[in-house]
Amino acid sequence: MKSLFDFIFSLTGIIILVPFFLLFAIMIIIDSGLPVFYFQKRVGKNETDFFLLKFRTMKKDSDKKGLLTVGEKDSRITRIGYYLRKYKIDELPQLFNVLIGDMSLVGPRPEVRKYVELYNEEQKKVLSVKPGITDYASIEFSNENELISKANNPEEYYVKEIMPVKLKLNLKYISEQSFFTDIKIIFRTIFKIAK
């Protein structure tokens, strides 16, 4: 049921959004050139690596200066990137990840290997399901960049304060996941973005 819903919803979403994808692509090119998309290796179900797809919102090679985005005013973020991030538009290309089966619409947000290696055995249970575009943690930490920007040591703050709470929420999702839970999370995500 979940896989079928993911396939139908992602395919329908891609078809509807194609004109907007083209518009966003043109805006990115005008603002900061190519490439339009950003591929980042993340850890998926059963600790399998895959490439997460996003609209590029940062200057080229910005990830070499750190994996965390520090606040909305991070100097690496492009002008159009600021708005794509603010309204979560940069995440929409992940519908392709859902379509090909790497991800689900709802599930624990996938992490980079660097942080997954810090998980304890209990936390690794989040890797037993497909990662998702949204989850409880995405809603709870919709202001994550703002929180990190206030920390003296952003990476330490993320690892010690934010990541454990996110993983706890992910384990909560796994323990109660159902079709109706997914629908609830999707609508809560939409309402959060629309605020």
Tens digit of pLDDT for each residue in 113-142? Answer: 999 999 999 999 999 999 999 999 999 999
Compute the distance between CA of residue 195 and CA of residue 191 in angstroms, rounded to an integer: 6
Chain-centre distance for alpha carbon 87:
12
Residue 77 pairs in a beta bridge with: 58
Tens digit of pLDDT for each residue in 62-118? Answer: 776 666 665 556 789 999 999 999 899 999 999 999 999 999 999 999 999 999 999
Q: What was the pLDDT predicted at 61?
A: 76
- Give me 188's structure tokens: 């809560």
Tens digit of pLDDT for each residue in 27-36? Answer: 999 999 999 9
For residue 19, give Cα distances in angstroms to 23, 26, 120: 6, 11, 43
Residue 42 pairs in a beta bridge with: 50
